[in-house]
Amino acid sequence: MRRAWLAALLALLPAAPAWPWGQEGHAIVAEIAQRRVSPPVNAKINDLLSSELPNLKGAQFSLASVASWADDYRAAKHDETQRWHFVDIPYDRDFYNATADCQLDPKYGDCIVNALARFRTALADCARPAAERAMALKFVVHFVGDIHQPLHDTTAINPDTAADDQGGNLVLVTFVDKFGQPQSSNLHHVWDTDLIMRKVYDWGEYVRLLETDWLPGKDVVALQAGAPVDWAQDAHKAAQIVAYNFRPDHVLDDEYYKDAIPIVDRQLALAGLRLARVLNEALQPTAQCP
């Protein structure tokens, strides 16, 4: 069984570096969620993923192994999925406006709020082919992670040119790493990867820290509440308060890290808890979908 799981993991790991949250962040979210799905739901997850690898039917699959798949799918010339990974709520607006923020682009798609709703519906529909539901599962795992990354819900717009900074991707910064060394980066990448890697290099250890230091004593049911729109608006507020609060010289120093890392911890933990809720609701056996 160990060999089967390893083969499944290797077969499903992304072939190239992921973008949003980085592979580490998505793996953290997926692992926290998988620890909280019910046994019947976990069995359905295994059935769906093994439908893509019939030689491994009966294997136990790690959700972390498919958590970054959607990035690689996008990179493989699937431009129609580009906008599914984020929603550009302007930095100076406090709420999501579906008409303005989730318009359908004929080439690049709409936004993560709508995409997550579509794939959650597809995942729950047992009348659909297994291949379609397996793809929906992988999108759901990824998008619940993405929607909790504050710079996937925020973009700053220049009032003079109306140009946006693409969720911080165009904001060049110097990030001070855990060894005190300055590293050239951009604001989006800092929140995708740099902050996580500064705290701890091993994503499994990051999960352990959240499980032992952040999650105990929390009201899980309350934290799991809300809809994707609520989660996006909440993450957007974090970007307004913390993400763009850097020095004029764009150096993200120790003080910035101390302000940001509690938000990163919170968002990763919330994403894991909420992904577990989404999967338990979508895949819980019913009379119609045993």
In the chain, where are the structural domains located?
A: 21-38+88-284
Alpha helices in 149-191 (DSSP H): 187-189
CA 187 to chain centre: 17
Q: State yes or no: pLDDT of 154 exceeds 80.
A: yes
Assigned fold of 21-38+88-284: P1 Nuclease (1.10.575)
Q: State yes or no: pLDDT of 108 exceeds 70.
A: yes
Q: How high does pLDDT run on average in the chain?
A: 91
Tokens, residue 10? 């290797």
| Contact (Cβ atoms closer than 8 angstroms) between residue 55 and residue 49 | no
| Contact (Cβ atoms closer than 8 angstroms) between residue 88 and residue 96 | no
Q: State yes or no: pLDDT of 198 exceeds 70.
A: yes
Per-residue pLDDT at 69? 96
Of 188, 199, 193, 187, the C-alpha closest to 246 is 187
Tokens, residue 279? 């999967």
Of 284, 189, 268, the C-alpha closest to 29 is 268
| Cα-only R_g, the chain | 19
CA gap 280, 42 in Å, rounded: 9
Q: How confident is the model at residue 18 (pLDDT cuts 50, 70, 90)?
A: very low
pLDDT > 70 in the chain, percent: 92
Q: State yes or no: pLDDT of 246 exceeds 90.
A: yes
Q: How confident is the model at residue 7 (pLDDT cuts 50, 70, 90)?
A: very low
Tokens, residue 6? 């390893």
Q: pLDDT tens for residues 204-226?
A: 999 999 999 999 999 999 999 99
State the chain's maximal CA–CA distance in angstroms.
60
CA gap 283, 290 in Å, rounded: 9
Q: State yes or no: pLDDT of 78 exceeds 70.
A: yes
Between 148 and 3, the higher pLDDT residue: 148
| Contact (Cβ atoms closer than 8 angstroms) between residue 12 and residue 51 | no
Average pLDDT over residues 63-81: 96
| Strand ordering across the sheet containing 251-252 | 182-186, 172-176, 251-252
Of 198, 211, 196, the C-alpha closest to 33 is 211
Q: How confident is the model at residue 104 (pLDDT cuts 50, 70, 90)?
A: very high
Average pLDDT over residues 228-232: 98
Average pLDDT over residues 113-139: 97
Per-residue pLDDT at 21? 56
Per-residue pLDDT at 234? 98
| Contact (Cβ atoms closer than 8 angstroms) between residue 190 and residue 175 | yes
CA gap 105, 86 in Å, rounded: 13
Per-residue pLDDT at 183? 97
Alpha helices in the chain (DSSP H): 2-12, 22-34, 39-50, 69-75, 98-101, 112-124, 130-146, 187-189, 195-199, 203-209, 220-224, 228-238, 254-283
